[in-house]
C-alpha cells in the first residue's frame, strides 16, 4: 500500500479542495456526471461554494466534502460532493450521505427559521481507487429485510440514492471526453492514478496538453502548484523522470516543479534533526518561500523579503503552507 493510501487523507483533501473547490472547476465536473435534464435546470453560472464540512470527525481521514449552492428553476438548491479516499468501499455510505444531507437541511432551517419547505440536496460521491465501487448506493439496500418483507413494507421504506462517479471504471478516453476544465480533468486523473504510481511520469506525458493549459489559465499557477504538491506527495515516480516531464512543458513549469520538489524534500530532510540545525533549516525554508512567492506574485517588496529573513522556522513553515491558497502576498506573510 502506498504512503498516500495508508491512512491519511491530507494530500487528497488538499488537492480536492483547492481545485474542485473552485466553482468553475466544480461546475465542469457536475455538468459531466449529473443527468443532462437536471443540469439544464440548474443555474451553474451562479454556483457558489458554502463553507464548512458535514463529515463526521472520525471519518475525515477517509472522506472529504464540498457543498455548493445553485438555483434550480429559481429555487434554492444544494449540490453536495463527497470524495472517498479509502481503498475499500464504505458499505454504509448511503446512510452517511443521508446523515450529512440532514445536517445541511438543519443548517438551512437555522438560517431560514420561517421556511416550511426544504431545498433539494443533490448528492454526488466521487470514488477514486484501483478497485471499483462494490457497495450500495441506495439507503433501502441497507435495510435488513428479506425480499418478501421488502415488498410488503415497500411503501413505508426510505428511498434515497446518491450519484456515484467511480473513477476506477472511468478510463482515460472517457475522462478526456468529459467537458471538464483542465484543472478538474487533471485532478480527477491524479486521484485515479497517482498514488503509489512508479510510472506516473510516463502517464503524465500523455496529458502534457492539459498540464500546459492549466498554467496558461489566469491564476493557473495556484492549481499547478497544488497538483505538483500532490504528485510529489503521493507518487513514487523517480524525481528525474518527473523533472523531465515538466521541463518539456516550458521554463515556468520546470521552475514550479523544481521549487515544489525542493520544498517538500527539504521538509522531509529536516524531520528528526537536532535543534542545533534550526538556523540552517530556517534559511532553507526562507529561500524556498521566497522562490514560491516570486513564482506566484513576481518580484517581492523589500519589506516582505525582510520579514522572511527575520522569521523563525515555525513562522516560515506556517507561511509556506499558506502559499497554495493565497491570492495576495498579504495572505501569506504577516507584516
Check residue 273 and give its pLDDT.
38
CA distance linking residue 225 with residue 324, whole number of Å: 7
What is the radius of gyration, based on Cα positions, of the chain?
22
Domain boundaries, the chain: 3-195, 231-331
Give the number of other Cβ atoms within 10 Å of residue 277's Cβ: 13
Give residue for cell 444544494. Answer: 78
Give dist(CA 335, CA 323) in Å, integer.
15
Q: Could you tell me which residues come within 8 angstroms of residue 295 by beta carbon, excluding any fewer than 6 positions away?
A: 221, 225, 252, 255, 256, 259
By C-alpha distance, which of 222, 227, 185 is closest to 207? 185
Q: What residues does 81 pair with on adjacent strands?
A: 66, 124
The Cα 225–Cα 220 span in angstroms is 9
* Contact criterion met (CB below 8 Å) for 12 and 126: no
What is the dihedral sign for C-alpha 20, 25, 29, 31?
positive
CA 27 to chain centre: 14
34 in Cβ contact with 164 (< 8 Å)? no
Stated length of the chain: 335
What pLDDT tens digit does each residue of the chain (335 aa) get?
Answer: 233 333 345 778 888 988 999 999 999 999 999 999 999 999 999 999 999 899 987 787 778 899 999 999 999 999 999 998 776 788 999 999 999 999 999 999 999 999 999 999 999 999 988 789 999 999 999 999 998 998 999 999 988 999 999 999 999 999 999 999 999 999 999 999 998 899 999 999 999 999 999 999 988 998 999 999 999 888 889 999 999 999 999 999 999 999 988 888 776 644 443 333 444 455 667 777 887 887 778 778 878 887 887 887 778 878 887 776 677 888 888 86
Question: For residue 299, what are the CA distances in angstroms to 71, 226, 230, 293, 331?
Answer: 42, 21, 26, 8, 16
Question: Which CA distances in Å does 104 have to 6, 98, 155, 258?
Answer: 30, 10, 26, 42
Sequence-distant (≥ 6) Cβ neighbours of residue 219 within 8 angstroms: 327
Which grid coordinates belong to 18? 483547492
Q: What pTM does this model have?
A: 0.77
Strand stretches in the chain, DSSP E: 48-50, 63-69, 77-84, 120-127, 163-166
Residue 318's pLDDT is: 80
- pLDDT computed for residue 286 by the predictor: 77
Amino acid at each position: 500500500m502506498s504512503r498516500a493510501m495508508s491512512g491519511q487523507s491530507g494530500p487528497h483533501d488538499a488537492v480536492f479542495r483547492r481545485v474542485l473547490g473552485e466553482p468553475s472547476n466544480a461546475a465542469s465536473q457536475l455538468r459531466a456526471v449529473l443527468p443532462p435534464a437536471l443540469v439544464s435546470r440548474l443555474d451553474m453560472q451562479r454556483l457558489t461554494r458554502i463553507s464548512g464540512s458535514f463529515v463526521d470527525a472520525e471519518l475525515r481521514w477517509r472522506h472529504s466534502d464540498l457543498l455548493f449552492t445553485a438555483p434550480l428553476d429559481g429555487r434554492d438548491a444544494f449540490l453536495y460532493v463527497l470524495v472517498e479516499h479509502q481503498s475499500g468501499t464504505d458499505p454504509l455510505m448511503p446512510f452517511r450521505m443521508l446523515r450529512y444531507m440532514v445536517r445541511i437541511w438543519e443548517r438551512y432551517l437555522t438560517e431560514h427559521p420561517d421556511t416550511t419547505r426544504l431545498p433539494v440536496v443533490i448528492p454526488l460521491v466521487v470514488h477514486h481507487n484501483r478497485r471499483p465501487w462494490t457497495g450500495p448506493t441506495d439507503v433501502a439496500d441497507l435495510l435488513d429485510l428479506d425480499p418478501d418483507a421488502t415488498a410488503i413494507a415497500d411503501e413505508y421504506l426510505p428511498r434515497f440514492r446518491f450519484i456515484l462517479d467511480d473513477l476506477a471504471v472511468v478510463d482515460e478516453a472517457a475522462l478526456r471526453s468529459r467537458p471538464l476544465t483542465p484543472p478538474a480533468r487533471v485532478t480527477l486523473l491524479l486521484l485515479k492514478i497517482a498514488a503509489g504510481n512508479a510510472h506516473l511520469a510516463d502517464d503524465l506525458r500523455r496529458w502534457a496538453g492539459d498540464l500546459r493549459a492549466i498554467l496558461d489559465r489566469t491564476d493557473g499557477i495556484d492549481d499547478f502548484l497544488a497538483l505538483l504538491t500532490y504528485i510529489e506527495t503521493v507518487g513514487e515516480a523517480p524525481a528525474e523522470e518527473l523533472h523531465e516531464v515538466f521541463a518539456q512543458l516550458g521554463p515556468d513549469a520546470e521552475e514550479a516543479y523544481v521549487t515544489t520538489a525542493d520544498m517538500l524534500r527539504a521538509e522531509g530532510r529536516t524531520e528528526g534533526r537536532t535543534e542545533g540545525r534550526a538556523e540552517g533549516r530556517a534559511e532553507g525554508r526562507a529561500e524556498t518561500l521566497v522562490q514560491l512567492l516570486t513564482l506566484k506574485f513576481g518580484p517581492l517588496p523589500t519589506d516582505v523579503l525582510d520579514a522572511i529573513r527575520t522569521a523563525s522556522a515555525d513562522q516560515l513553515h506556517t507561511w509556506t503552507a499558506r502559499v497554495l491558497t493565497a491570492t495576495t502576498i498579504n495572505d501569506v506573510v504577516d507584516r
